[in-house]
Chain A
């Protein structure tokens, strides 16, 4: 744990307070980078603890239809990695909210793993979540992330074996991303029964915070999940709120902020 990393600092403080974290996800550039910038600042104001910011990739194999569509909208609007970096720099002028990039491995690989991590640190990014990367193939990413004090956040799934859970718990920094269900991202009506045994096992292996995502779609579910772990990640349901307001762009930020406020309140009520 690093004192200077914003994710570690924020989650450490929440733990000390006995409070759970709320982590919203949005795809950068959906529907434009200026809206994304406003949304991140709005999430900060709404009390979100960490923001997961997606760098859109053409082939998001771990994502369900909501985030696929968000990704397609962002790419169609012409979002670039460089544009996202410059937006983060602008956000950092007025906000210290911890930000983790979520992106597939190829955009990082294409940029150059070491250069990508160096640039992330420089612009004020705090962690990386790469859904198609497990520790076995992260031999380039882990050292580069460590060197630049970025959290390398790995996922544990309901299908993970005990040995893999131990290995991932050991190597993941910032937090451990608990995947709540056997499937892709996307809001579900009910939370998977897969979740409890996984969290019980993880608790036996590590003291690191476990934040759970995939499938959490509303305040009730967020509260239920928050009761069982360190934090809750919501992506598709937030992205759906953006999508529902595309025809009335002025409503995107207030509507999405209001939804995040509701989710923050639900998580804090645990």
Chain B
């Protein structure tokens, strides 16, 4: 895997653009993470929880009917949707919560948009016996009442955020502020490969289990590496988790699919890599959505998990050096992707993952029957049922 430099940069991206109050903690966190990444006991303990609690390794499933329907490359699905709590988010939540426990922190905070990362963190905290507070935009609290209830059932405190856009962006701001205030006792479990160094590296390291497993599984099943890796990109954690272990496999192409919302030619999308510009946001230099004077704009997507105006520094770097290609899929196309997999394979994908799936039909001309594609099926669609029904004009 690609390692950031000593200042936490991938090329020009990344860094630590945070208040001085947090710098000592973030340096301590980096040291602790590097230590435990090399510590066989920590790794054995992490493996234990990933196996016995999360249910890893997740399956690499050959989607035969979908492959036949599309008539091109063989399609494999990395089944992160089968993890406990229904998405890849738990990999990072377990890893970081275990790390927090080892660092002697008694309390964990997290930000959440739709609530998936909040639920994953609340789950991990319940399992490890740590106190948990989740910051969530007031708008999202209202829209995602079920996830709020789940977090509370798991023993977490959900704090509504009323500033700014009252969504994920401002929930993240508030989590940073809470961390500034309680930095000595508290660990901040950030949910994606974003934020100041070492967070993008830590989240990547805990999500890289996806790519490591997929690499071994495809070698076992096909006797060779895939031609393409395909994943949706919001902040970028499931994509980076799949891609990073293949970084040095130069013949493996990578495609990240961003949310094009109502279209890249409108203001309503969440595609910093395909349509954004470079800036500094939430502690890191990265591609982001910004307008005049560098004010950060609100992102829009039918998928709450992709609804973020920034993106991880490692993927930003992949874009600049051409290691990965990034495309956009609209809300409408994503719904079609969701229907396609549901009917072909009996798997209802999350709307996030549906963005990646929706790109498959566009790839078949380029990738024929002799090619292999691995799609990261990052989450299951149960949580999105109401939104999918709404989009299809069904009143539940």
Contacts and interface: CB of A to CB of B under 8 A. Distances in A.
B164 A72 contact: yes
Contacts of B282: 59, 61
A57 B295 contact: yes
A119 to B, nearest CB: 13
B281 A182 contact: no
A155 B20 CA distance: 6
Contacts of B250: none
A80 B180 contact: no
Chief secondary structure at chain B's binding surface? mixed
A136 B20 contact: no
B294 A157 contact: no
Nearest to A155: B20
Contacts of B294: 57, 106-111
B15 A137 contact: yes
Contact of A183 (B164, B181, B290): B181
Interface string A126-162: 0000011110110000000000000000111111110
A179 interface: yes
A46 to B, nearest CB: 29
Nearest to B297: A58
Contact of B293 (A65, A68, A80): A80
Interface residues of B, number: 35
B107 to A, nearest CB: 15
Interface in B337-365: none
Contacts of B176: 61
Interface in A150-178: 154-161, 164, 168
A51 B17 CA distance: 24
Interface stretch (B21-29, B95-103, B325-333): B21-29
Chief secondary structure at chain A's binding surface? loop
Given A72-B164, A109-B279, A136-B16, A159 B21 contact: yes
Interface in A77-119: 80-81, 104-111
Given A62-B180, A134-B16, A68 B23 contact: no
A60 interface: yes
A75 interface: yes
B21 A182 contact: yes
Given A57-B295, A106-B294, A155-B20, A184 B177 contact: yes
A21 B89 CA distance: 50
A64 interface: yes
Contacts of A132: 17-19, 280, 283
A110 B279 contact: yes
B173 interface: yes
B184 interface: yes
Interface string B1-41: 00000010000000111111111110000000000000000
6 contacts: A58-B295, A60-B173, A62-B19, A155-B19, A182-B183, A183-B21
